[in-house]
Chain A
Amino acid sequence: MSSHIVLRMRDVNMSVRTGHIFTKRKQVLRNINIDIRKGECVAYLGANGAGKTSTFKAISGLSSIDSGSIIKHGTLSIMPETPYFYKHITCRDLLSLMGKLNTVDDINQKIDAWSHRLNITPIMDKRIGQCSKGQVQRVGLAQVLMSEPDIVILDEPLSGLDPVGRRLVISVLLEQSMSGQTILFSSHIIDDVEKICTRAIFIRNGSIAHDEFVKREQYRTPPQTALEKVFMDVNQC
């Protein structure tokens, strides 16, 4: 693994307004220091309200930070927890237009490849509003991965997915990580996190509480539980 740092956060502090313009600001990030190297797959873990999404917003420039610095080397793509997208356009149109926004080459080929990989080919001509939450989640993932960014940020990529979809997304993320893509993601499903990540960072009350490297090799083949096997049999997967 290359030691080239693609994302560096130094003493990042961030606060948000809790109401109107004159109300007090609430500190959501406190002295965050993170170095993420190229090819790392980092799980960003914490309880609800710990500051995971705030960190992602700070990294992607959606929210301004009060102090500190965030240095990114390369392109960045982010998938929010519940991607809403435009309800009236089809999945294919969305991927095509997002491809143009991300200046992707060979858009149609990549759309076909990723829709096949994420098992969303049958819904490609459906409107986003007609798709289920899990399908939209996979369309969102296709949109992020299609542009081949240097850093991929995924906020709860496994939420709302059925067991089949979850296994599929886990295997896609594993593949991407093995191929050297830098991934930063959050999840509450610790079992799944262990299968994917090479490093886990824990955040509590806006501060980094723990940072640990994980041996992923032993989790490379996700074990199938008895109920998962029944689910797959019932759904003929």
Chain B
Amino acid sequence: MLNVNKVYAMATMTIKESIKNRIVYAVFTASAMMFMMIYAVASVTMGDTGQIMIDTGSGVITIIVDIMAIVMTIESFKNDREGRNLFVLLPACGCRWRYITGKSIGLMVMSAIITISLLTVLDLSAMLYGHVHPISIFQSSITIVEEGMMATAIASLFAQGSSFLASILMTCATVFAGHYIYIIKSFTNSIHNVFLQTSGKMISWILPDFYSISLRSSAGYINAYDWSLLFHITCYVIFEVVAILTLSAIIFSRKDIS
């Protein structure tokens, strides 16, 4: 029933295909230009160059990686559907959830590889040009990688829709709302209408909490975050990814392939 080999084969196939995807090259090109700009800005700004590089660089990488993960995931699912790859892949996978799991894991690994390579360049440059605390930067980097994986999982859920644009917009809206979930929470706490309060609580409960999993605010400034905090964040991300992929697999298993 589990057959990890099939999931692994599906993930490997996805990675091999995505690694040559033009989006990946576009991300690396855009990031290289971005790094140069960040370094230029950091070197003329008052304050520690390395610290400013970490502040702006990690923010930029987060946005780039989220957008890349969303577009790459939705495009990949769309190509499989429209190119009739599913005709071959689904009978071979046996169960549809193996396809969804393998494909999503492949895309998450790709997202992680790209994020890690970009962050490595940024973190090493920051350490070279300034005085920053490497442990907190490392911890923050882990959460950025996890954020990209969560964005990929959400994209795989909305990729089940038939419209490419609608899928992109829905995923972007969810990720964006997830980053500003604290506003929804504070708004919910401040109102007295029971209906609005309940709705607000439900929305903040359903939305993935991108705000709380971010450790970017003090990265480089403090020696290290509490490791238990990182552990809790990782557990939350794993729970969210598993829950979203399960929902995605349920929706996909009921879908007719045209």
Tell me the bound Cα distance from A221 to B256 in angstroms.
41
B88 to chain A, nearest CB (A): 7
Q: Is B256's CB under 8 angstroms from A62's CB?
A: yes
Q: Is B9's CB under 8 angstroms from A101's CB?
A: yes
Q: Is B256's CB under 8 angstroms from A63's CB?
A: yes
* Of B14-22, B107-115, B123-131, B170-178, the one touching chain A: B14-22
Q: Size of chain A's interface in residues, with CB distance under 8 A?
A: 33
Other A-B pairs, 10, CB within 8 Å; known A61-B91, A97-B13, A101-B93: A60-B91, A61-B90, A63-B258, A78-B88, A85-B88, A86-B17, A98-B88, A100-B9, A102-B92, A103-B3
Known: A63-B257, A78-B91, A93-B16. A84 touches B84 (CB 8 A): yes
**Total of A-B residue pairs, C-beta within 8 Å:** 84
Q: Is A88's CB under 8 angstroms from B17's CB?
A: yes
Known: A83-B84, A86-B17, A88-B20. A101 touches B92 (CB 8 A): yes
Tell me the bound Cα distance from A79 to B5 in angstroms.
22
* Residues in A whose Cβ lies below 8 Å from that of B93: 101
Is A143 on the interface with B (CB-CB < 8 A)? yes
Tell me the bound Cα distance from A6 to B107 in angstroms.
37
Q: Is A60's CB under 8 angstroms from B256's CB?
A: no
Q: Size of chain B's interface in residues, with CB distance under 8 A?
A: 29
Is A77 on the interface with B (CB-CB < 8 A)? yes
Q: Is A103's CB under 8 angstroms from B6's CB?
A: yes
The A27-85 residues at the B interface (CB cut-off 8 A) are: 57, 60-64, 76-85
A232 to chain B, nearest CB (A): 31
Is B26 on the interface with A (CB-CB < 8 A)? no
Interface centre among A80, A83, A86 (most CB of B within 10 A): A86
B77 to chain A, nearest CB (A): 13
Tell me the bound Cα distance from A86 to B20 in angstroms.
11
**Closest residue of chain B to A62, judged by CB?**
B257
